[in-house]
């Protein structure tokens, strides 16, 4: 089985927000041994110059890959354009208003290096940034948001997490995303970010052609470190800070798939679709990645 992970912050002690050029290649070699044939290095919020340099480094790594490496598809910017009231583990002090101008400050000459941006659509006035991104073949995902509407986004980031929970009293973006047959929904199906019964409900209700399994794996995943510094906080094994706030997962995507199959939540065929085929369709990639 082959996997593509579009939301992953690192692993083996490698942090995509801070690592060097060689680390991208080392990570890509190690992760391919697990059947993960492609990925989007995911960056959390930071100051503009740091993110700009990160994109330059990712672009350089993309241009110099070998056959034994998982393919770097482009960056996923998860930080910066989020709602401070749903910041999660991220540092709200690094957030910017989601505008075309602010995005260009970060991207510089590397707009084509960006593949996905997570943003709070309620802060994107008239969906200006979202529409600009889509015209430039960058997918805008709603995440870390208080929005009750999907607006113009094409996907959601780690569905259910960092958004209002589903309730019978009112509608919200978590519910609308499940019911909208066009929207792609990322989900971290590690049984920790979303419990098994909700996973079963989600997979039963949501259009299976529009589900994307992701890991949201942290740099501490598959490392011997007792903790890592992530978003300026100490994150311990299990992916939580000292207060118990989840920062991400300690599992890679192949392990998440195994978890779902072993519990009879998904079949092999369904998991393959959600961890590979749907990603190609969403990102508009018209070739198989081996």
Asked whether residue 150 is assigned to any structural domain, the reply reads yes
The full length of the chain comes to 290
* CATH number (domain holding residue 274): 3.20.20.140
pTM higher than the cut 0.85: yes
Asked whether residue 231 is assigned to any structural domain, the reply reads yes
Asked whether residue 289 is assigned to any structural domain, the reply reads no
Range of the domain at 48: 3-283
Asked whether residue 165 is assigned to any structural domain, the reply reads yes
Q: Using CA atoms in the order 48, 50, 55, 58, what is the torsion angle rounded to 10 degrees? A: -170
Q: Quote the Cα angle for 44-74-63, to 5°.
A: 125
Asked whether residue 236 is assigned to any structural domain, the reply reads yes
Number of domains present in the structure of the chain = 1
Using CA atoms, how far residue 259 sits from 2, 9, 91, 251, 264, in Å, is 16, 20, 31, 10, 9
Name the DSSP letter for residue 178: H
72: Cβ–Cβ under 8 A, 6 or more apart, which residues?
24, 28, 38, 39, 40, 41, 58, 61, 62, 65
Asked whether residue 29 is assigned to any structural domain, the reply reads yes
Asked whether residue 290 is assigned to any structural domain, the reply reads no
How far is it, in rounded angstroms, from Cα 227 to Cα 92? Answer: 22
Asked whether residue 154 is assigned to any structural domain, the reply reads yes
Name the DSSP letter for residue 164: P
Cβ-contact 214, 8 below 8 angstroms: yes
Could you list the pLDDT tens digit for every one of the 290 residues in the chain? 999 999 999 999 999 999 999 999 999 999 999 999 999 999 999 999 999 999 999 999 999 999 999 999 999 999 999 999 999 999 999 999 999 999 999 999 999 999 999 999 999 999 999 999 999 999 999 999 999 999 999 999 999 999 999 999 999 999 999 999 999 999 999 999 999 999 999 999 999 999 999 999 999 999 999 999 999 999 998 899 988 888 999 999 999 999 999 999 999 999 999 999 999 999 999 999 99
Name the DSSP letter for residue 225: -
């Amino acid at each position: 089985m082959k996997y593509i992970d579009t939301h992953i912050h690192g692993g083996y002690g490698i942090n995509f927000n801070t690592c060097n050029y060689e680390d991208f290649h080392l990570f890509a070699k190690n992760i391919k041994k697990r059947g993960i044939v492609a990925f989007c290095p995911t960056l959390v919020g930071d100051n503009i110059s740091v993110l700009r340099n990160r994109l330059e480094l990712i672009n350089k790594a993309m241009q110099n890959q070998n056959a034994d490496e998982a393919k770097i598809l482009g960056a996923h910017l998860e930080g910066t354009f989020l709602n401070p009231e749903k910041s999660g583990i991220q540092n709200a002090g690094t957030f910017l208003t989601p505008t075309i101008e602010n995005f260009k400050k970060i991207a510089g000459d590397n707009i084509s290096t960006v593949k996905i941006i997570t943003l709070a659509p309620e802060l994107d006035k008239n969906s200006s940034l979202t529409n600009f991104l889509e015209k430039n073949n960058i997918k805008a995902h709603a995440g870390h948001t208080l929005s009750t509407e999907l607006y113009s986004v094409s996907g959601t980031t780690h569905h259910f997490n960092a958004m209002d929970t589903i309730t019978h009293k009112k509608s919200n973006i978590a519910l609308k995303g499940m019911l909208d047959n066009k929207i792609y929904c990322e989900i971290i199906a590690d049984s920790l970010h979303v419990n098994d019964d909700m996973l079963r409900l989600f997979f039963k209700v949501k259009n299976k052609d529009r589900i994307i399994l992701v890991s949201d794996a942290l740099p501490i995943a598959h490392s011997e470190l007792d903790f890592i510094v992530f978003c300026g906080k100490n994150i311990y094994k299990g992916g939580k800070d000292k207060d118990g706030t989840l920062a991400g997962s300690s599992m890679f995507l192949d392990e998440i798939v195994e978890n779902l199959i072993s519990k009879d939540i998904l079949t092999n065929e369904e998991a393959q679709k959600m961890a590979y085929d749907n990603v190609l369709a969403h990102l508009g990639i018209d070739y198989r990645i081996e």
